[in-house]
Amino acid sequence: MATVKVSEAEKVYILHGIRDDLRVDGRSCEDYRHMEVETDVVSNTDGSARVSLGHTAVLVGIKAEIGKPRPLVPDEGYLEFFVDCSANATPEFEGRGGEELGIELSNTLYRVFNNKNSIDLKGLCISAGEHCWVLYVDVLLLQCDGNLYDAISVAIKAALFNTKIPRVHMSSDDEGGKEVELSDDPFDCVRLSVENVPCIVTLCKVGHRHVVDATLQEKACSVASLIIAVTHRGTVTCVKKVGGGSLDPESIFEMTEAGKRVGKALHAPLMKLLQQEESLGKKREKVGFLG
Amino acid sequence: MAGLELLSDQGYRLDGRKATELRKVQARMGVFAQADGSAYLEQGNTKALAVVYGPHEIRGARSRALHDRAIINCQYSMATFSTAERKRRPHGDRKSTEMSLHLKQTFEAAVLTQLYPRSQIDIYVKILQSDGGNYSVCVNAATLAVIDAGIPMRDYVCACTVGFVDETSLADLCYAEESGGVSSLALALLPRGGQIALVQMDARLHQDHLDTLIEAAMTACKGVSKVLDQVVRQHLQEGSTLRE
Amino acid sequence: MPTDTKRVRGPEVSQSPSLFDCRPSVVPPSHGARADGRQRDQVDVRPVFVRCGLVSQAKGSAYIEAGDTKLLCSVYGPRETERKDETDMKCGRLTTDMRFAPFSCPERGSWIQGSQDKNFSLMLQESLQPALCLHKYPRSQIEVNVMVLENSGSVQAHAITCASLALADAGIEMYDLVLGCSIRQDGSSYVVDPTYSEESNWSSSEHQGGLTVAFLPSLNQVSGLQSDGEMAEETLTAGIRTCIEGCYKLYPVIQQALVKAVRRAQPPPPES
């Protein structure tokens, strides 16, 4: 469900718990819930990943297509984000109900990736001004239980890591016309460097403290949250306040610092896990949704 | 015909199956905790996720409520990355709307709606990966989800897509066969009573062959029902051992 | 794709001639004075002109001009809410709509609201909402419409200021005014209240980004915060502080405009 109803007594219980650094599910304020990451789950895509975080479940599929570079940057490819809030997650999203949230999420993703270092866009260019790779990053929300941003960003990073772009080269025929030629070997692929891809950390201000990875109940107790996209080096690529409330400057500074610390710590185990999964190759037992 | 030999002289199909052979069906019930019922089903390379909410009060316009039975609300959608070529919209196009309607009709025939007057049952199906037979995979997944939600049905609804080529009927078509110019027929069956919940064909076929084709579809559906039954039994067993 | 059938549209594939400009684009210098003579690394905002009550049909309106950035905002309501199925009827609802006139940017835009505009609208709504006493307006909605007439940078920040002024002009009860300020970080130096060319022409150095802050000055609360690009955490915090300082600079100007508007609406009784 996208929203839950929390009674006043429950709110007090959650607030007091957080004040004492003990949350309803036993975590402390900067702990994540159990997270599962699996890559290569949809074979129709060039890269895909499934992430579940508590009850939140997202599936990201990446498709690489050949398109025309944007006129302003002729020597770069680009990324397109689309977030599909499917009715599977909650009946409220039926029909066009999920569109608003989908646009909000995808706009934030555009912002997070709006810098030169996250993804090597120049590497996505095939021939300047004519052809480039367009990476369609499609996010599918399967279940919402709070903290969508973090789950989505981890899933995107994993899916980008998994992405295999076929190798192409330009060949010119006798009349000087250029043609894109696909490599004959289907395993001849280019991989993306995801080292600098940021992860998003959402900090929810509850009472006088902030918590990481808030559940829907905790989110209902908070007035505003701050999302911070952090790379493994600790560079911030996006901050955004979400929610209807306001925050005082001092707590924002505290939250950015905590976000940077938590975000930096998130990258290493994720990369280790992805590399481990990659090294297993074909031997890996695919779990998917059957597990 | 698109140059592809759909059935070899030895009687094997493109993916090496025999004419009446089904693809491997794997399923799991209770994938998600928040929904009232959910199921994931793989049939070969086609993967679908079904979620059921309800029965609950009617959402939106109260006037839609039926005084003697529940209304069934279906939405079929496809993940944008599910097909070989990227889809621009997950749902809302004509094809998905039609598919939603077909699902609704199928489940109205199967669910005991009269037990829940003035209420609504939501069935949402998402295709994660599409490789032919989308309708039948959706029906099979949704059946499991409805059972997981504990909503009484007359029987399992099992669906299968069959095709007719070279005087032979092929069971459970894959995408290459579906697009290869086979006259295909989708059929949803309540296997125990042998009642047909939905049958749809929009291709040319000689009248004389129709009976054989339907017969083949019904056999295939019965095959699917056995697998589904097994999944349900296993799921219940797991649930009961956990509780002990 | 939604298509606009009401107006004659330009050809589908046309490009602005500026793209074919062979001259190397003028990269603004990353040191020294700025193109418009303002100082770098200082809270040097553009002088603003603000005026309330330009749109006579609206309940309240405001116009703001900062350098070449020109915005018009009108507020309608409180009126009965359109969405009756909303569960939360105890509070009023704030709806925002921010649009760019097609001629507002160097490149012609479309009349249809794109997803970027929705992003602007959303931030506007989230920044204004904490300042409004919405519980005083149950079952009703307040509409804020912002039209960008000319985009010369820092549109989001000025839209927030302009909208809060229009809300005050409409007599909507508020806790505080909301002021917006943005900066552009470029390497180690920064520019406050950047112009369009400063926003879009990035020099190649690393660590640059934009930051917009919405601030409630008398409550000392940040109601909106959005950044992109790359910044170290320390620069980010410094940037937020700079923006807040910028907001304080703007505060007296906005207050004055508001006082002027109130005086005009209710002239002091003639001395007898």
> Residue A178: is its pLDDT beyond 70?
yes
Q: Does C113 touch chain A (CB under 8 A)?
A: no
CA distance B46 to B25: 10
For chain A, domains (ranges, CATH) are: 8-281 (3.30.230.70)
Q: Would you give the DSSP letter of residue C266?
A: S
Question: Of B63-72, C165-174, C234-243, which gets the smallest average pLDDT?
Answer: B63-72
Predicted confidence band at A290 (pLDDT cuts at 50, 70, 90)? confident
> Residue A229: is its pLDDT beyond 50?
yes
The DSSP-derived string for B165-228 is: ETTEEEES--HHHHHTT-EEEEEEEETTTTEEEEEEE-S---HHHHHHHHHHHHHHHHHHHHHH
Question: Of A48-52, A199-203, C63-67, C194-198, which gets the smallest average pLDDT?
Answer: C194-198
Average pLDDT over residues A97-121: 89
> Residue B244: is its pLDDT beyond 70?
no
Per residue in A242-267, pLDDT tens?
A: 988 899 999 999 999 999 999 999 99
Mean pLDDT taken over chain A? 88
Q: Which of B58, B75, B71, B39 shows the shortest CA–CA distance to B234?
A: B39
Does residue C149 form part of some domain?
A: yes
Q: Does B76 touch chain A (CB under 8 A)?
A: no
Does residue C1 form part of some domain?
A: no
Angle ∠(C184,C187,C193) on CA atoms, nearest 5? 15
Does residue B11 form part of some domain?
A: no
Å between C208 CA and nearest CA of chain A = 8
Instruction: Determine whether the interchain pair B86/A42 forms a contact, defined as Cβ–Cβ distance below 8 Å.
Output: no
Per residue in C235-263, pLDDT tens?
A: 999 999 999 999 999 999 999 999 999 88
Per residue in B177-188, pLDDT tens?
A: 888 878 889 999
Does residue C258 form part of some domain?
A: yes
> Residue B4: is its pLDDT beyond 80?
no
Does residue C6 form part of some domain?
A: no
Instruction: Determine whether the interchain pair A245/C206 forms a contact, defined as Cβ–Cβ distance below 8 Å.
Output: no
CA distance B139 to B123: 10
Per residue in A157-172, pLDDT tens?
A: 999 999 999 888 887 7
When CB atoms are compared, the residue of B86, B90, B129 closest to A43 is: B129
| CB neighbour list of residue C269: distance below 8 Å, 6 or more residues apart | none
Tokens 């099992």, residue? B158
Per residue in B157-202, pLDDT tens?
A: 999 999 988 888 999 999 988 888 788 899 999 999 889 999 998 8
C254: amino acid identity, one letter: I
Per residue in A34-63, pLDDT tens?
A: 999 999 888 889 999 999 998 899 999 999
CA distance B95 to B74: 14
Does residue C105 form part of some domain?
A: yes
Å between A96 CA and nearest CA of chain C = 14
A207: amino acid identity, one letter: G
Q: Which of A47, A73, A39 shows the shortest CA–CA distance to A189?
A: A47
CA–CA distances in Å: residue C107 to residues B94, C20, C37: 35, 13, 25
> Residue C146: is its pLDDT beyond 50?
yes
Q: Would you give the DSSP letter of residue C46?
A: P
Does residue B1 form part of some domain?
A: no
Does residue B2 form part of some domain?
A: no
pLDDT score for B29: 92
Percent of chain B residues past pLDDT 70, beyond the cut? 97
Whether this model's ipTM surpasses 0.85 comes out as yes
Q: Which of B153, B182, B162, B152 shows the shortest CA–CA distance to B224?
A: B162
Does residue C20 form part of some domain?
A: no
Percent of chain A residues past pLDDT 90, beyond the cut? 48
Question: In CATH, what number is assigned to the domain containing residue C196?
Answer: 3.30.230.70
Number of domains in chain B: 1
Does residue B111 form part of some domain?
A: yes
pLDDT score for A47: 92
Question: Of A143-157, A174-188, C57-71, C220-234, which gets the smallest average pLDDT?
Answer: A174-188
Task: Judge if the upstream peptide bond of residue C78 is cis by omega within 30 degrees of 0.
Answer: yes
Q: Which of B187, B43, B55, B202 shows the shortest CA–CA distance to B127?
A: B43
Both tokens of residue A122?
A: 């120049």
CA distance C50 to C66: 9
Size of interface A-B (CB pairs under 8 A): 100
CA distance A154 to A149: 9
3-state secondary structure of B232: helix
Per residue in C132-145, pLDDT tens?
A: 998 898 888 899 99
> Residue B100: is its pLDDT beyond 70?
yes
H helices of chain A, in order, are: 8-19, 99-112, 148-162, 216-221, 249-280
- Residue A185 vs residue A177, higher pLDDT: A185
Å between A254 CA and nearest CA of chain C = 10
Which residue segment(s) compose the domain that B215 sits in?
Answer: 25-243
Interface test with C, best of A75, A246, A261 (most C CBs within 10 A): A246
Does residue B217 form part of some domain?
A: yes
Å between A132 CA and nearest CA of chain C = 19
Per residue in A272-289, pLDDT tens?
A: 999 998 888 777 777 777
pLDDT score for C208: 81
CA distance B200 to B156: 19
H helices of C98-229, in order, are: 115-128, 155-169, 196-200
Mean pLDDT taken over chain C? 85
Question: In CATH, what number is assigned to the domain containing residue B153?
Answer: 3.30.230.70
> Residue C87: is its pLDDT beyond 70?
no
Does residue B16 form part of some domain?
A: no
pLDDT score for A269: 92
| CB neighbour list of residue B119: distance below 8 Å, 6 or more residues apart | B54, B55, B56, B57, B58, B65, B70, B71
> How many other CB atoms are found less than 10 A from the CB of residue A224?
24
Both tokens of residue A108?
A: 């934030």
> How many other CB atoms are found less than 10 A from the CB of residue B97?
13
Which residue segment(s) compose the domain that C168 sits in?
Answer: 39-81+91-263
Average pLDDT over residues A131-156: 93
pLDDT score for A1: 44
Average pLDDT over residues B21-46: 92
Number of domains in chain C: 1
Instruction: Determine whether the interchain pair A241/C223 forms a contact, defined as Cβ–Cβ distance below 8 Å.
Output: yes
